[in-house]
Homo-oligomer: A and B are copies of this chain.
Amino acid sequence: MRIVKEAEARRNEILDAADELFGQKGFDGTSTNDILSKVGIARGTLYHHFKSKEDIMDALIERYSSKMLGAAQAIALDTTIPVVERILRAVMAMNISSGNGGESSREIMEHIHRPQNALMHQKIQKIIVNGVPPILTPIVREGIQQGVFNTPYPYESMEMIIIYANTIFDEEMVEMTGEVRMSRILAFIANVERLLGAEVGSLMSVMQAFGGDRGDERGNE
């Protein structure tokens, strides 16, 4: 049967289906026919709304990353929060979907880190590497003025921190057991203190007071 909907609604239907399928079977492992039958539309319809399969992926990434960066930006601009805590919360806002119980794009991040999704992984990595440091660096500069941090290279330090964290806490990249993971986190915090020129132990105490068992432990599902 033939059901006509508004373009925007149909597009989102397709994206939702693709989101779930890519998560389950990966981008290469998902055929356009899979998407077609899941949404219940014909081939032509899909290609009426998207110009290619990769175009679907790009739209999915766009939908996800704009939410992610937007959430982080919102927190970054709230100058009432102390700098260290603000950085932490901005980072956390990015990991956990869009913050408010968003229904879509929710699963994407959990399934990105898979060999089949290498291209998607790379594209998101690029967005993070280029998008996150500009958001967090102003907070670091604020911290420098307050005397909490001390570095001549706030942007580059932040960049290094983001890239490292994003790579090392990727299950597929570096396999770790629970204990090794914990020691990595400790070392990471110490290294961040050195890079940002924070007092030794200052980040550790804030993290414990703030997050407890959360913090940087994403991916322990």
Contact = CB atoms under 8 A, between A and B. Distances in A.
Interface of A: 115, 118-119, 121-123, 125-126, 129-130, 152-153, 155-157, 159-160, 163-164, 167-168, 172-174, 184, 187-188, 190-191, 194-195, 197
B115 A174 contact: no
Given A157-B191, A168-B163, A122 B129 contact: no
Contact of A160 (B122, B153, B191): B191
Contacts of A164: 159-160, 163-164
Question: Chain A's interface: helix, strand, loop or mixed, by majority?
Answer: helix
A168 B173 contact: no
A164 to B, nearest CB: 5
B190 A152 contact: yes
Contacts of A119: 115, 118-119
Contact of A122 (B122, B152, B188): B122
Contacts of A194: 194-195, 197
Contacts of A172: 126
Contacts of A160: 160, 164, 168, 188, 191
B156 A191 contact: yes
B174 A129 contact: yes
Contacts of A174: 129-130
